[in-house]
Structure 1
Amino acid sequence: MAQKEEMASMNVALKQSITIHEELPKEELFKNIKEAEGKLSMFQCSKPKIQRVPYMLREHKSFEKYYEPRAVAIGPIHHDKPRCQLAEKFKLALAAKFIEQSGCGAEVLHKIIEDNIKTLKECYDEEATRFYTDEALIQLLFVDGCSTLQFIYSFMNNELASFKIKRDQVAFAEQDLFLLENQLPYEVLKLLMSQSAKKEVLNDAIHDFVTRNISKRNKHSKHKKTPQPEGTVIHVEEPTHLLQLLRTEMLGPEKSEAKKNKSKHLRQSFRNIQELKAAGIHLKPSKTNTLRDISFDSRCFAGILHLPPISVDDSLGPKFLNLIAYELCPDFQNDFGVTSYICFLDSLIDHAEDVQHLRSAGVLHNLLGSDEEVAQLFNEIGTDLVPNSETYRNVTSRLEKHYKTKWKTWMAQFCHDHFSSPWTIIAFLGVLAALGLSGIQTWYSISSPPCACDAVCKYLKKQLKIE
């Protein structure tokens, strides 16, 4: 009896777990098909929303390390994360300082968020805010917006020590501000800055902060406009959030030649930098550190590949992976610029020796650890990515053409084998000098006219024989 009851309960549970799919009336199906194109175009043309990392990346073995905040939760998605609760106390202190220095009261700043909550809420995917009332979201955006602006300003002016925030918390918080799931609408920052007496100073601090996170060699350098390469098109648009602002600054302006590039696509046959070097291709830093500033020049039997300088530290992995995740968001139409750069760099790096060549050329600054760790990092980031084949087509086609030109490879190999050190060069020059002197001596002995002394000697010899 007990066994029958158990079987019956199992059957009930099984039926409940099965989803019954019922067909739609034909008229409703046809209506949905007819309206689908219009809905899809509206979805794709809308401003990208702040959302979770796309599902295709959520199975990453180090998902928590790369995509979730470790010190401070910004916005609604990770607000209740236990390990970020300590930062909530610092947020209130930072917000208080921002309100004090803004020159207006907390009520004014709170009201401007309240008056725009409908627009600000639409900046998020519905799933991100569904458990928040409007009032709760207003308070969250108000505190997070004020504290974020004050953190950035104090960070760039070396004033965070006054808030008793430890160095490790500062480092993690800086990294957390560029996670896809940890973003505030840029409109929140803009609204709060508009009411502050330090509006221009705060705006400059944001851009300095973003610039610092592109290259950390000069950690607190003031923001400078990067000289732009020729043939570039500059589009200025309001960023969606700090991560998009980082992406825009990191990629730099789009080259106008990229849109009309008609280079014949050649399948890549080289596997890494070592093979390029053996073919006479050398590395040099580009004039700027923007990711689009990659070029290749072929000179006689040698070639020069220009790559933007990059600093590799603990923050690089999360930064690039979140930029890639942003480019993969379904409502963000883009050229996959960061994804394409990572794929291009991954195609050059296989082993630690490739990283060593990048370091020697001044292209890569290793602040992470061993060259092997850097190689593994880029190989990990570049796994299962689909680049935009048009982005570097001109560069890769010219690289491949040079690489497959045999006489250039032979000449490069000859020079590498025989002129790879100063001593071999000196020896070669010595041989040339000896051959030159020997040739001059031979020519002189054959071509020079008889000397008067030679004639006198011949005459004397002749007279002595006669006698």
Structure 2
Amino acid sequence: MARNEEMSSMNEALKHGIKIHEESSKEELFKNIKEAKSRLEQFQSSKPKLQKVPDMLRDHTSFEKYYEPRAVAIGPFHHAKERCQLAEKFKLALTAKFVEDSDCTAEDLHKIIEDNINTLRDCYDEEATRSYTDKALTQLLFLDGCSTLQFIYSFIYNELPYFKIKRDQVAFAQQDLFLLENQLPYQVLKLLMNKSHKKEELNNAIHDFVRNNIMAATKKTHKHKRVSQPEDRININEVEEPTHLLELLRTEMLGPKDEGNKICTNQRQSFRNIQELKAAGIQLKPSKTSTLKDISFKSLGFVGFLHLPPISVDDSMGPKFLNLIAYEMCPDFENDFEVTSYICLLDSLIDHADDVKELRSADVLYNLLGSDEEVARLFNEIGTDLVPNSATYCNVKNEIEKHYKSKGKTWMAQFCHEHFSSPWTILAFLGVLAALGLSSIQTWYTITSPPSACDAVCECLKKQLKIE
């Protein structure tokens, strides 16, 4: 608990700073500075705490609905919400089924949580569990852990109809399981899974459930390329144990870690939207995989190809991305802001509905939300006030800027775009080329062809007439 108190003090210091008043001595100030240094070292080396969405994101009132559960409350933050009380009844039924399929009794499963309650409490920010006794927190984590595992297992193996859970409740529950303030420590799930004879099936179900909720077109049949299937993704056994399901979702979306640090120069790019890129001869192509980092650019002659991972945009996309961004912004989570940078990239590419239309035409974006205007508005809204990692996608942006600033490439691309933008202009151009070609052939044949027999007879008659 001493470590928990130290981390809590560090959080408080980060939130409020040190209050300086007239009675404060310089010795006290220096002492506080030394203590802050030691706490910071501990703070940076620990796993991120389960905590609330940072205040700077909650300032956007239109986003608040994306951070709170609509069907089921998991963990201590939203446990008492009235609209989530129906789910508490389903939790009991799901837990009963989980216990039935385990190798032990409900008492045994409860005790494994009880024996580790201090460690599990330490997974949360102190503010989250302050009002819970060890007994109350144990019961909460036991019930939420068992029911979450059973829900995920039943979802993957199509057993949810057995519990009489309606489709709309299932859809909202799926979204709720990936909210930052609605997370369980992954350690809770692991402790309970280890007591079940279905441990391997439960573990696989969790990863399949996470992949099922990735906003990429992995389940669609692509017209040109095969999008990566789950077996192409990161090896489950090589993944470091996540803090919670939201972090596991982020890991799956980003794919394998990059080997070494990428060096990027010239980070002052003025990035363009899709329409501007198209006018400069840059075409969109779907990437081979759906991982967010699989973005590349190739320039061939005066034509460039920007490869982007396919993505499906539906009602769940906003909550998932905003909660991933909120997680990246948590003060104790050390990361490179990859998801934030991805959203900023898409926000820069998408200004208007026409940009969304181009992404759809290229099979890069699947619009399941509504009109293209809605999609453009969603990305512009999510991308507001975000600060990306300038090194992420830096090399891609540099190559695009280099292509864009090449006058010769841009001129050729604009010429082709203006004069050959429709099939009719292309056919007309081919017709002119054909006419010119035929005329040239006729002229060449007239000049170079030998005289015919008729020409020879006429020439002979002319000579005879002159002699006479």
TM-score by length of 2: 0.90
Following superposition of structure 1 onto structure 2, how do residues 303-342 of structure 1 map, counting pairs within 5 Å?
303-342=304-343
Q: CA deviation at 1:311?
A: 0.5
Q: CA deviation at 1:464?
A: 3.6
CA contact (8 A) 1:285 1:363 kept: yes
Cα distance 1:114–1:333, how it changes in 2: closer, same or farther (>3 A)?
same
Tell me the residue number matched to 1:121. Answer: 121
Give the secondary-structure state (helix, strand or coil) at the position aligned to 1:459.
Answer: helix
Tell me the residue number matched to 1:38. Answer: 38
Aligned-partner residue type, residue 211 of structure 1: R
Tell me the residue number matched to 2:252. Answer: 249
TM-score by length of 1: 0.90
Following superposition of structure 1 onto structure 2, how do residues 263-278 of structure 1 map, counting pairs within 5 Å?
263-268=265-270, 270=272, 272-278=273-279
Tell me the residue number matched to 1:360. Answer: 361
Residue among 218, 225, 240 paired with 2:231: 225
Moved more, 417-426 or 279-288: 417-426
Moved more, 51-60 or 448-457: 448-457
Q: CA deviation at 1:216?
A: 6.4
Q: CA deviation at 1:427?
A: 2.2
Give deviations 1:344-387, integer Å, cap 9, x for gaps.
11000010110000000000000101000000000010000000
Give deviations 1:7-59, integer Å, cap 9, x for gaps.
xxxxxxxxxxxx99453233222111123222112112210000011111122
Tell me the residue number matched to 2:10. Answer: none
Q: Measure, in 2, the Cα distance between the counterparts of 1:26 and 1:214.
A: 53
Cα distance 1:73–1:219, how it changes in 2: closer, same or farther (>3 A)?
farther
Tell me the residue number matched to 2:71. Answer: 71
Q: CA deviation at 1:118?
A: 1.1
Q: CA deviation at 1:87?
A: 0.5
Q: CA deviation at 1:265?
A: 2.3
Aligned-partner residue type, residue 148 of structure 1: T
Gaps of 5+ in 1: 1-18, 229-233
Tell me the residue number matched to 2:347. Answer: 346
CA contact (8 A) 2:183 2:244 kept: yes
Tell me the residue number matched to 1:202. Answer: 202
Give the secondary-structure state (helix, strand or coil) at the position aligned to 1:62.
Answer: helix
Following superposition of structure 1 onto structure 2, how do residues 397-416 of structure 1 map, counting pairs within 5 Å?
397-416=398-417
CA contact (8 A) 1:156 1:220 kept: no
Q: Does 1:369 align with 2:375?
A: no
Give deviations 1:192-213, integer Å, cap 9, x for gaps.
1111011111111111110011
Q: CA deviation at 1:422?
A: 2.4
RMSD between aligned residues: 2.1
Tell me the residue number matched to 1:281. Answer: 282
Q: CA deviation at 1:167?
A: 1.2
Aligned-partner residue type, residue 198 of structure 1: K
Cα distance 1:149–1:223, how it changes in 2: closer, same or farther (>3 A)?
farther
Q: CA deviation at 1:439?
A: 1.4
Q: Does 1:238 align with 2:244?
A: no
Q: CA deviation at 1:168?
A: 1.1
Q: CA deviation at 1:157?
A: 1.6
Tell me the residue number matched to 1:261. Answer: 263
Give deviations 1:215-251, integer Å, cap 9, x for gaps.
46566999722268xxxxx973110000000001011
Q: Measure, in 1, the Cα distance between the counterparts of 2:87 and 2:94.
A: 10
Aligned-partner residue type, residue 425 of structure 1: I
Give the secondary-structure state (helix, strand or coil) at the position aligned to 1:102.
Answer: coil
The number of residues matched between the two structures is: 442
CA contact (8 A) 2:215 2:313 kept: no
Tell me the residue number matched to 2:28. Answer: 28
Aligned-partner residue type, residue 277 of structure 1: K
CA contact (8 A) 1:45 1:333 kept: no
Q: Measure, in 1, the Cα distance between the counterparts of 2:404 and 2:88.
A: 56
Q: Measure, in 2, the Cα distance between the counterparts of 1:251 and 1:20.
A: 43
Cα distance 1:319–1:386, how it changes in 2: closer, same or farther (>3 A)?
same
Give the secondary-structure state (helix, strand or coil) at the position aligned to 2:48.
Answer: coil
Percent of aligned positions that are identical: 75
Q: Measure, in 2, the Cα distance between the counterparts of 1:413 and 1:294.
A: 25
Q: Measure, in 1, the Cα distance between the counterparts of 2:125 and 2:87.
A: 25
Q: CA deviation at 1:465?
A: 5.1
Give deviations 1:407-433, integer Å, cap 9, x for gaps.
111111111122222222222222222
Q: Measure, in 1, the Cα distance between the counterparts of 2:23 and 2:381.
A: 44
